[in-house]
A and B are shown apart, each in its own frame.
Chain A
Amino acid sequence: MVELNPFVIMFAAVFTNNILLTNYLGMCPFLSVSREVKASWGLGFAVILVMTATTTLNWLVYTYILVPTGLDHFWYIIFIIVIAAFVQLTEIIIEKTSPVLYVNLGIFLPLITVNCAILGASLFMIIRGYGLWQSTAFGFGAGVGWAMAIVAMAGIRQKIARSNVPPALAGPGIALIIAGFMALAFVGFSGMIQVQ
């Protein structure tokens, strides 16, 4: 097991191993909700919250239930169930308790229930053999990285909306090209730390 400082893992998850720009996970909401910076913040925060909580929960379930019972090969199914239940529960609670929070964050929750980035984060932490704190830090970092990428993307797209994009590239076309450039830019960080 690699004994990395949780903060190093978190930093790596944000910059050098950004789950969106290096693994290309979570592309669907990344492209569809990145039209406006405000909505992107909401979705970004929702991803941070859900990733942090689900990596932690899934680590606990995996370590204390699946491994002892020898059922660790069911991790995909169990992780998905845990994520779905957590998201649903959080949404119900937020919706009832805080209308303001619900408008800004809660409505994005259903969009990310079955998001591959969320499941991806839980799977990576197991593959990489992280401990509890490492997993939490990784989940938080991966969420922050994803949020950063989508907010940056939304900023760029808001500017692009006022530019003269060739008709053939308008919409998803130009968005994918921008995502590619952003991914290239993030490759520049990869020299700082290498976490696999």
Chain B
Amino acid sequence: MQEILLSSVVIGAIGAVLAVFLELADRFIANYGECRIDINDGKREFVVEGGGHLLAALGSQKIFIPSACGGRGSCGYCKVRASSGAGPLLPTETPWLTPEEIADEVRLSCQIKVREDIRIRIPDELFSIREYTGQVEKIEDLTHDIKEIRIRLLDPDSIEFKTGQYMQITVPEYGDVDESVYRAYSMSSNEYDTSHVEFIIRYVPEGICTTWVHRFMTVGEKVVLNGPYGEFYLRDTDRPIIMIAGGSGMAPIKGMLQKMAEDRNPRPAVFFFGAATVADLYHLDLMADLQKRIPDFKFVSAVSSPKPEEKWEGETGLITEVVDRLAKNVPDSEAYLCGSPGMIDACIKVLTNNGMPQEQIFYDKFS
């Protein structure tokens, strides 16, 4: 009994003495006051207690920089550009940085400490990648094998994204699928509707997510998503726009067109939409409406093999043939493509043959 008491007292006393030393040192020596962290030239600014690591300071503000090692400087993922206040380059950082990155002021945020006001730059999308919980509000049949689903966001209840980006949908366990998986889909809604996201999903036999959406999903069901991700969004230039999509590839284009309608964007735009038969075309009323609302917009649908009874009078042929026919000599235009890899590669060839530089072509390949 006495030994237990004695050991508690002695170990407690040793611990307490050391703790007092540390506390004093922390209070009087390691006092750096409040420091201001400025991200992307004022896009986000906050004040933290100085002395901690930058990665932790950002984490405390719910800005998540990728890091695999948990801040020990052994993975090299948590790179940020620090233009001032980060102090000299540390030897624990140099193994992870190339000479170009060092010249570009790239640093490891887990190694640098916040001791003064600091200015950093991070990719914009890191601000807004989060996990969202939503509820299916509407499931609409667009064709016999394509559905559009509309999800109301619950927690958080709004999202900031660039129209054309994609999210990952969490597919829960269902039927014979005994493991939850993620699948990425482009959002077909636009950034002005921050409380909802929409997706256009085509049924693929045996596809885990598409089967779930088409056969199992019901209105009112809770869905978990994360994002937004991706670089597929309308660039802010004055170039005429050529949009090309096939099947469910209309999703991001639809969002972009709705945004153009809201903005009353005066840029000339043409949207080539390809389908196999007339029955595979959809959102035709919406496109007709958008033609009225967007100052200079034309919708061209192309059917590759119309059935005789469908009495198709529009453009006939593969989407590439139609584009080649109608988009002659377009070196000054910008193209946005969304569809299967085969379709995109074929379209890029057609566009470059018609004089469009590669860097003016943006695309979102299904994979």
Whether, in the assembled complex, A128 has its beta carbon less than 8 Å from a beta carbon of chain B, the answer is: no
**A65, A93, A99, A107: the one within 8 Å of B29 (CB):** A93
Are A71 and B91 in contact, CB atoms less than 8 angstroms apart?
Answer: no
Nearest chain B residue, comparing its CB with the CB of A66: B10
A88: chain B residues at CB < 8 Å are 22, 25
Known: A71-B7, A85-B21, A85-B22. A36 touches B91 (CB 8 A): yes
Are B95 and A38 in contact, CB atoms less than 8 angstroms apart?
Answer: no
Q: Is the interface of A mostly helix, strand, loop or mixed?
A: helix
Are B22 and A70 in contact, CB atoms less than 8 angstroms apart?
Answer: no
Nearest chain B residue, comparing its CB with the CB of A90: B25
- Interface flags, B85-104, vs A, CB<8A=1, else 0: 00110111011000000000
Are A107 and B111 in contact, CB atoms less than 8 angstroms apart?
Answer: yes
B88: chain A residues at CB < 8 Å are 99, 103
How close is B213's CB to chain A, nearest CB, in angstroms? 42
What range describes how many residues of B lie at the interface? Answer: 20 to 34
Query: How far is it, in angstroms, between the C-alpha of A71 and the C-alpha of B18 when the chains are bound?
Result: 18
A81: chain B residues at CB < 8 Å are 14-15, 18
Are A107 and B92 in contact, CB atoms less than 8 angstroms apart?
Answer: yes
B349: chain A residues at CB < 8 Å are none
Query: How far is it, in angstroms, between the C-alpha of A60 and the C-alpha of B322 when the chains are bound?
Result: 87
B25: chain A residues at CB < 8 Å are 88-89, 92-93
Nearest chain A residue, comparing its CB with the CB of B14: A78
Whether, in the assembled complex, B74 has its beta carbon less than 8 Å from a beta carbon of chain A, the answer is: yes
> Which residues A10-36 have CB closer than 8 A to chain B?
32-33, 35-36
Whether, in the assembled complex, A82 has its beta carbon less than 8 Å from a beta carbon of chain B, the answer is: yes
What range describes how many residues of A lie at the interface? Answer: 20 to 34
> Which residues B54-112 have CB closer than 8 A to chain A?
72-74, 87-88, 90-92, 94-95, 111
Are B3 and A96 in contact, CB atoms less than 8 angstroms apart?
Answer: no
Known: A35-B95, A78-B14, A99-B87. A69 touches B22 (CB 8 A): no
Are A70 and B3 in contact, CB atoms less than 8 angstroms apart?
Answer: yes
> Which residues A64-107 have CB closer than 8 A to chain B?
65-66, 69-71, 74, 77-78, 81-82, 85, 88-89, 92-93, 95-96, 99, 103-104, 107
Query: How far is it, in angstroms, between the C-alpha of A77 and the C-alpha of B12 when the chains are bound?
Result: 12
Are B95 and A96 in contact, CB atoms less than 8 angstroms apart?
Answer: no
A108: chain B residues at CB < 8 Å are 92
Q: A82-B18, A99-B87, A103-B91 are in contact. List 8 more A-B contacts (CB 8 A).
A: A39-B91, A66-B10, A85-B19, A85-B21, A85-B22, A89-B21, A103-B87, A111-B73
